[in-house]
A and B are shown apart, each in its own frame.
Chain A
Amino acid sequence: NAGVMQNPRHLVRRRGQEARLRCSPMKGHSHVYWYRQLPEEGLKFMVYLQKENIIDESGMPKERFSAEFPKEGPSILRIQQVVRGDSAAYFCASSLRGETEAFFGQGTRLTVV
């Protein structure tokens, strides 16, 4: 049973480009969470999604960031017009239900040059 799969593991983008980060949850999991880890900091919650619904986006920056979890396919975190401050590790987690334990992927390390 594969765990949470994130790709790519490493992503380099120039300032102003778009970054698309993908997350495939564990089999059977329909709840997905995205976190951001800035250098030397802990993880900060960004957004909580169920299939086709955003449940809680209280941690998402108001501009340039969006997330989706379609009926079919992986969850996508999209960052438009990236800036150097977006350089971070982005982690996805999934859970079977909203109140159950979440399992983390290995993360995507975004570098903006």
Chain B
Amino acid sequence: GDSVTQMEGPVTLSEEAFLTINCTYTATGYPSLFWYVQYPGEGLQLLLKATKADDKGSNKGFEATYRKETTSFHLEKGSVQVSDSAVYFCARSPGGNQGGKLIFGQGTELSVKP
């Protein structure tokens, strides 16, 4: 079945370091791809999304590009801050008429040290 695979955490970085969190997805259909962020004790917030191949989603300094040829949607940020410490989830939709029925990766915990 459809799936999303993320790199395992936890990832620990120093402030202002470069961040990459890898995400790959199964290629059935024409999915939309998402990154969600979950701060401690909170729900999920949509960070960015891309709806078709070669689209780049961006928000708050984070970016991810929908790569159909490699079935990837890696999350990047040039300079992380302590406030970016959270769990990041990659997700795909099945496409079509079920935009809210998402398939999530297992999450990657990011810890940024001052």
Contact = CB atoms under 8 A, between A and B. Distances in A.
A99 B44 contact: no
B107 A91 contact: no
28 contacts: A4-B43, A31-B100, A33-B101, A33-B102, A35-B102, A35-B104, A41-B107, A42-B89, A42-B105, A43-B89, A44-B104, A45-B101, A48-B98, A48-B101, A91-B43, A93-B100, A95-B99, A99-B96, A99-B99, A100-B99, A100-B100, A102-B100, A103-B46, A104-B36, A104-B44, A106-B42, A106-B43, A107-B42
Contacts of A97: 99
For this complex, into which size category does the number of interface residues on chain A fall? 20 to 34
Contacts of A45: 101-103
Interface in B21-54: 36, 42-46, 49
A43 B98 contact: no
Contacts of B49: 101
Contacts of B96: 99
Contacts of A6: 43
Nearest to A93: B100
**Looking at chain B's contact residues, is the secondary structure mostly helix, strand, loop, or mixed?**
loop
Contacts of A52: none
Interface of B: 36, 42-46, 49, 89, 96-107
A91 B100 contact: no
Contacts of A42: 89, 104-107
A102 B49 CA distance: 12
Given A91-B43, A104-B44, A48 B100 contact: yes
Nearest to A33: B100
Given A91-B43, A99-B96, 12 more contacts: A33-B100, A42-B89, A42-B106, A43-B44, A43-B102, A48-B100, A55-B98, A94-B100, A95-B99, A98-B98, A100-B100, A102-B99
Contact of B43 (A44, A98, A104): A104
Contacts of A48: 98, 100-101
Contacts of A101: 46, 49, 99-100
A82 to B, nearest CB: 22
